[in-house]
Amino acid sequence: MTNDTLFNAAWSLLAIMAIAYIVFWRYRAYKLDAFRQDIFDLRDALFDEAQEGLISFNHPAYGMLREFMNGFIRFGHQLSLWQILIFLFLARKEDFATKSSFEEKWKKVTSDLMPSVKEQLDSYRLKAHFAIFKHLIATAPGLILTIVVPLLLLLFMKIIVERLKNFTNPPIDSAALTLGQA
């Protein structure tokens, strides 16, 4: 081996190690911080709305929504798509049977609210769920590449085939004929 080859191999190895470090350690930490910041921002907006009089700080719905957000801030590092999939695969139906689900408790604590206030609180829950979904997808690039991308490609191919079936004279057939005659 020449010195140039050794030099290129060493730099290539260092570059691969740097990319692995960024992808497997720093990216996940960054996405976790971004997720927590999204939830912090939602919680702060909820606080501001309560301070402006949307809902009392002592109302059970405010407390429940705040605890919901605090739970995701506190345990966001344990939240990953892989862990959720494994949990759902290993959990039994009886494991989900509790005395009262979140949804039942939520309906109970929001039952005395005006519809506009309940709608605003539900929008905070929806925004939190969107932030959670975004975090799950962003922290599972391997899953995305091995499962989601191929499924999207299959769906895309199916859509194309369905659209081609609807054409009486598909444009691609005309293009192929024109190119074939040339």
Span 125-145, pLDDT tens digits: 999 999 999 998 888 877 667
Angle of helix 27-51 versus helix 60-75 axis, rounded to 10: 170
Average pLDDT score over residue span 88-110: 77
Q: For the chain, what is the mean pLDDT?
A: 85
Cα separation values, 165 from 157, 161, 162, 173, Å: 12, 6, 5, 12
| Gap between the Cα atoms of 38 and 44, Å rounded | 10
